Amino acid sequence: SYELTQPPSVSVSPGQTARITCSADALAKQYAHWYQQKPGQAPVLVICKDSERPSGIPERFSGSSSGTIVTLTISGVQAEDEADYYCQSSDTSGHVFGGGTKLTVL
Amino acid sequence: QVQLHESGPGLVKPSQTLSLTCTVSGDSISSGTHYWSWIRQPAGKGLEWIGRIYEGGSTNYNPSLMSRVTMSVDTSKNRFSLEVSSVTAADTALYYCARETMDIALVHYFEYWGQGILVTVSP
């Protein structure tokens, strides 16, 4: 198994761009997925396979990958985007989640 | 619309076995097109994948929990279950069940989640 490393927190002002990273050597070969979790709610998939946006997710959410780092980008951040964000990936033994990043909208 | 609903005791005594069930609606476990997972989250902490089961009963468990976890599936009732034995306070968490989508490239991610059930381990 391996670990996915995320920054504990990211802060941005409304309308700015937030970038949250997730890193691991395994990400050079494995896809990553991103989940948004608001207080008291179950996680919601916002990006799958590094950069695909599921149906119903706003276009301001995007994802990218470069080597061992994947990035979740939220363009034009809104107050409602304040939440915890988790990356997730998989290997032959199962699934791993990053430690989570708390996005604060100032 | 796919929905998952966790049920079970909210309080378990230390050293006993935690037992939860996830009932699925809007999809059929027996279709064999998805895996079904359990994930937990201690209060104020991150997500931890516990394990998954397939419609035929095959399982994969998190190596860190493998010795204490058992999953089973009941396709006749469209539900799957989790047991964690010899629980301690460290097993206190919000437990989620989730449907694991597997696309044609065999990439897995969690598209549908239950609302979660809080399980507290306490005397």
Q: How much is the pLDDT for B71?
A: 97
Tell me: pLDDT of A84 over 80.
yes
* Set of chain B residues whose Cβ sits within 8 Å of the Cβ of A90: 107-108
Cα–Cα distance for residue pair A16/A73, rounded to 1 Å: 11
Residue B62 Cα, gap to closest chain A Cα (Å): 7
Pick from A50, A7, A42, A33: nearest CA to A95: A33
Hey, is the C-beta of B46 within 8 angstroms of any chain A C-beta? yes
How much is the mean pLDDT over chain A?
Answer: 96
**Residue A96's closest chain B neighbor by CA?**
B49
B37 in contact with A, Cβ within 8 Å: yes
In the predicted model, residues of chain B with pLDDT beneath 70 are: none
Distance CA B49, CA B95 (A): 10
pLDDT tier, A39 (very low <50, low <70, confident <90, very high otherwise): very high
Query: Identity (one letter) of the amino acid at B116?
Result: G
Contact B52 A94 (CB under 8 A): yes
Asked if residue B14 lies in contact with residue B89, where contact means CB atoms within 8 angstroms, the answer is yes
Cβ within 8 Å, pair A49-B116:
no
Residue A1: pLDDT above 90?
Answer: no
Residues of chain B contacting A85 with CB distance shorter than 8 Å: none
pLDDT of residue B99: 96
Q: Tell me what pLDDT residue B105 has.
A: 75
Inter-chain contact A45–B107, Cβ cutoff 8 Å? Answer: no
- Residue A53 is classified by DSSP as P
In this structure, which amino acid lies at residue A51? S
A99 pLDDT exceeds 90?
yes
